[in-house]
Amino acid sequence: MKAIIIEDESLARERLRDLINRYDRNIQIIEEFDSVEDSVAYLLENDSFDLLFMDIQLSDGLSFEIFNHVEIVKPIIFTTAYEEYSIQAFKVNSIDYLLKPIDYEDLKKSLIKYDRIIQSRDQFIPNDYSQIAKILGMANKPYKKRFLVKLGSKIQFKEASRIAYLYAEGKIVYMVLNDDNKKFLIDHTLEELEGFLLDPSDFFRINRKFIVRIDAIKELKNHLNNRLKVFLHVDSDMEMIVSREKVSSFKKWLNQ
């Protein structure tokens, strides 16, 4: 069997490798990835594997985003730090979910279940991963309408509808307004903004650094390596490039 590990914590990857090897030395770990972006780039071009081990929270977002770009028909065993009652709810989907820190006996049961399902050719993967996200409380939440920002000793709020784009500099995230081009530091990560707080019909994360609002987009131009360059109505000295693996979904988002 050939397996792929998608996990952003190096110690967790190492532990999972050791447990898999303990169960069966013939299982080959052919690739390991720590991000949505790298996983998508590989999976778009390769399907010569039998099983995916996939963490839910990756370095650049939720692993569910992978399914927006790639149709995966191979079995998946998710790993997660979510509470155990959530894990039990997932069992109805006929996929296994291993609670971190992963226990050998739990991994063993998952792999035995995988073998049984493969041999009987039962359905292993649900058709709609959004249902899993709903169980986790990741979907159907009200999106933020405004954000608190600090101006010296003062605190103000800015409407989400005024945002042109958001960007990260290391662990610091700024939002830039579309009416006066002013930027403000906000206390959220891009992952939180993309996965929970911003309405995905209005905002799109074009790469690891930028999230743009649809009303702020002026035009697009073709860029190197089948990418797109985004130009906004507001002035910016930063280059905004849609990463290659997101170009297709970005066009669909613009055209919906």
CATH homologous superfamily of 146-254 equals LytTr DNA-binding domain (2.40.50.1020)
Q: How confident is the model at residue 256 (pLDDT cuts 50, 70, 90)?
A: confident
pLDDT value of residue 205: 92
CATH homologous superfamily of 2-135 equals Response regulator (3.40.50.2300)
pLDDT value of residue 119: 76
pLDDT above 90: residue 188? no
pLDDT value of residue 121: 57
**Segment holding 159, helix H or strand E:** strand 154-159
pLDDT tens track for 124-182: 444 455 555 555 555 455 788 999 998 888 889 999 999 999 999 988 999 999 988 89
pLDDT tens track for 124-136: 444 455 555 555 5
| 239: CB partners within 8 A, 6+ apart | 229
Domain span(s) for CATH 2.40.50.1020 in the chain = 146-254
Domain span(s) for CATH 3.40.50.2300 in the chain = 2-135
pLDDT above 60: residue 83? no
DSSP label at residue 112: H
